[in-house]
Amino acid sequence: MKKFKVLIQGMHCASCASNIERSVGKVSGVKSCSVSLMTRKSLIECDDNVKEEEIKKAVARAGYQVVSIEK
Amino acid sequence: MDHQMSGHDHAQMQEPSIEEMEIRGWKKKMIWAWIFTIPIAILMLGERLLGFELFPEKVMPIIILALAFPVIFITGWQTIRGGLRGLFTFYFNMDSLIALGTLIAYFSGLLHIFFKNGDYSGVSAMIMAIFVTGKYIETKARGQATQEIKKLLELGAKKARLLQGKIEVEVDISELKIGDIMIIKPGEKIPTDGIVVRGESAVDESMISGESLPVEKGKGSAVIGATLNQDGILYVKATKIGSDTFLAHIINLVEEAQGTKIPIQKLADKVTSIFVPTILIIATLTFIAWLYLTGDINRSLGVGISVLVIACPCALGLAVPIALMVGSGMGAKRGILIRKGEAIQTMKEVRIFVFDKTGTITKGKPEVTNIHSKVKENYLLDIAASLETLSEHPIAHAIVSRANLKKYRKVTNFNIVRGKGVMGKIGSKDIVIGNRSLMTDKNIKYDDLDQKIRGFESEGKTIMIIAENKKALGIIAVADAIKEDSAQAINILNQLGYKIFMLTGDNELTARAIAFQVGIKNVIANVLPEDKAKKVEELQKYGMVAFVGDGINDAPALKQANVGIAMGSGTDIAIEAGDIVLVKGSLRGAIAALNLSKATFKKIKQNLFWAFGYNVIMIPLAMAGILNPVFAEVAMALSSISVITNANLLRRIRV
């Protein structure tokens, strides 16, 4: 298990947050994803084999940009 | 690293945060949107209200279309693009509704040139301008909600002054290493966590613990990074740097708590996740129904657009997190760290408060409470402290710190009798300090003191008998002193009608004595540390339990309880335990946490009520054709702004 803390740009409404949760949640190996519209941060818990790239792609798929990923 | 001193208040170049960039972005869009929208409004109003035409009927729609174009497709481009992409990828969001609403309105204007349909192109610009304005105000207000947290983030020092040999060097905080000796002058921030090696001063720790009085620091004291040195020069050895510091832990904890969801939010989240597609369907059905019933395509179009733009998932989605943000920010400022948002909701259901004794109700370290002496009290303390200063026992520390001697007498033949006391010689005199058992071993009579001893023991105190040349001189009673505000805090809880229990590993007698002094009637004594969680579980049969204890020994009980409140003191806070962490080890903090939780939860409920209420009332009104699209958009913008403003009002309460 590992945790990612992802800073996301472009969110401006509540649906945005739930869109990202939905999209990232679909990445295989992701256990949980909670997005805070307030802090613009997303906390992702996932298996060790999940790559940063996959998370970035999932966020982009929902229409937003990853600014930075912290472990 | 050069030896040149640079200015301490050296301004740092900082990149604007995402938030600032967003606010600036919306502001720019807002200004440009209105530059084009105001002329449209004048043209439209002039035509409608005053009844005169500035331009011939044929030219007018083209002028309005031209003016509306930059509003929709330049200032609104991001919204339009994001919204349309959402429609195609099925990641619908707020933008999808606005994009659809404004585009339909704009194209109705284009069609108007060829057909005799209604022209909503002017309306489209107004909707977009109001939307952008609403977003600007909303983003700004949201920034306000996070002000306490932001202050916390900016609290850390940027520079540190180091002692290298005999030279003072200023370095960037990132260059600091563990073991470095930092010099902190009066009025300066302590750069990072450390231990004072030289100097004395008072330090203002209010920004971390909420404690308003400065704390005295001397050699050996632990200091926390980001706290403010008051009046003396301190030489501090850095013990923790970067992400290991106390401040970094607090920030991390508060940020993670922002991400946790509280149960009441689930419903709101569920609604927001299906909100946009539902509205798309409702708007389409409304349009069809109006067209079918009235045959008036212009009215039908207007009503459909109204429904699209009035619906707003924002208020719903923001209702809970915004209140949580303000609440947890207020807490952080006062040394109350809400680690799990859920605790705010659970807190209101709590009926039973369980307190750990040692370190929670009491200070957790013994203090001298009574001295009974047959000789001069000073002399008794003098010889007692001279011996005890050689021992590491907590009771010895209590006696030494009470005596507070400048000079100790020379002790020879010093001996520690494990579990009983100490012995030694001062000059030619044989000194024995210890419990009854040691006196009996050494054949020292203390019958005349016996009554006093029993008296102290019945109050739960530990006694030390001091004997000189086989003669008992007096007794020193030591007890784990009660924190100054424990009784007051428990009194408040009693008055609020909570059931209060004290849980301790101590014997019944000691436990009862302490409980009596703070006003607790229910005592569960002789509990082994590993059984505390079990006791909490038993109490949970009678209602929701909040457990207040220190995070180190009581972690399982904190976890078992419905709300675990972990107490800290100084730098020793076990951050991983507890749903709520109190930085300062005072029970008043538990009351403040209780009040803050209740107030925050009330705001959350209010916000949800307004957000749901708004949509439940306004959407049918729009469907009924009562709301004109422009007013619908104003109402929409106001709904999310009002939710944020309401949350910001939480700051008015006192906790």
Judge contact between B639 and B614, C-beta under 8 A. Answer: yes
> pLDDT value at position B54?
67
More reliable by pLDDT, B256 or A24: A24
Nearest CA in chain B to A62: B91
Beta bridge partners of B237: B181, B195
The long-range contacts involving B429-432, CB below 8 angstroms and separated by at least 24 positions, are B429/B383, B429/B468, B429/B469, B430/B468, B430/B469, B430/B470, B431/B383, B431/B387, B431/B466, B431/B467, B431/B468, B432/B465, B432/B466, B432/B467, B432/B470
Of B89, B146, B276, the CB nearest to A38: B146
Query: For a pLDDT cut of 70, what percent of chain B falls above it?
Result: 95
Parts of chain B with a pLDDT under 50: 1-13
pLDDT value at position B120?
86
d(CA B384, CA B386): 6
Q: The CATH number of the domain where A62 resides is what?
A: 3.30.70.100
pLDDT of amino acid B13: 44
Chain B CA closest to residue A23:
B91
Active-site residue identified among B119, B356, B480, B506 = B356
Query: For B299, how many CA atoms within 13 A lie in the half-sphere containing its CB?
Result: 12
Please give the biggest Cα pair distance in chain A: 31
For residue B255, give the nearest of A23, A39, A62 by CB distance.
A39
What pLDDT sits at residue B515? Answer: 92
Q: How far apart are CA B177 and CA B402, in angstroms?
A: 37
Structure confidence at residue B574 (pLDDT): 58
Neighbouring residues of B5: CB distance < 8 A, sequence distance ≥ 6: B168, B169, B170
* Pairwise CB contact (< 8 Å): A14 & B18: no
Give per-residue pLDDT as tens, B156-176: 888 899 988 888 888 998 888
Question: Tokens for B225?
Answer: 């990074």
Could you give the 3-state DSSP secondary structure of residue B137? helix
Q: Which residue in A64, A4, A46, A6 sits closest to B82, CA to CA?
A: A64
- What is the least distance, in Å, from the CA of A49 to any CA of chain B? 23
Mean pLDDT for A31-43 is: 84
Q: If DSSP codes are grouped into helix, strand and coil, which group holds residue B459?
A: coil
Confidence label for A38 from pLDDT (cuts 50, 70 and 90): confident
pLDDT in tens, B44-83: 877 767 666 667 777 888 888 999 999 999 999 988 998 8
A17–chain B Cβ distance below 8 A for any pair: yes
SS3 B90: coil
Nearest Cα residue in chain A from B136? A12
Output the pLDDT for position B269: 82
- How many interchain CB pairs under 8 A, A with B? 86
Nearest to B198 by CA among B218, B215, B177: B218
Distance from first CA to last CA of chain B, Å, rounded? 47
Residues of A with CB below 8 A from B94's CB? 12-16
| Residue B350: Cβ-neighbour burial (10 angstroms; 0-12, 13-18, 19+) | buried
**What is the helix (H) or strand (E) element at residue B538, kind and residue range?**
helix B532-539
Binding-site residues on chain B for chain A (CB distance < 8 A): 18-19, 22, 82, 85-86, 89, 91-95, 135, 139, 142, 145-146, 149, 255-256, 258-261, 269, 272-273, 275-276, 313-314, 316-318, 321-322, 325
Tell whether A35 is within 8 A of chain B (Cβ).
yes
Least CA distance to A19: which residue of chain B? B91
Is A42 an 8 Å CB contact of chain B? yes
ipTM: 0.84
User: Is B448 annotated as catalytic?
Assistant: no
> Residues B56, B109: contact at Cβ < 8 Å?
no
Range of the domain at A12: 2-70
State the Cα–Cα distance between residues B584 and B575, nearest whole angstrom: 13
The answer for residues whose C-beta is within 8 angstroms of residue B505's C-beta and 6 or more apart is B358, B525, B526, B527, B528, B529
Looking at the 3D structure of chain A, how many domains does it have?
1
In 3D space, the residue among B397, B366, B394, B369 whose CA is nearest the CA of residue B384 turns out to be B397
- Distance to chain B for A38, nearest Cα, Å: 7
**pLDDT attached to residue B52:** 66
pTM, full prediction: 0.81
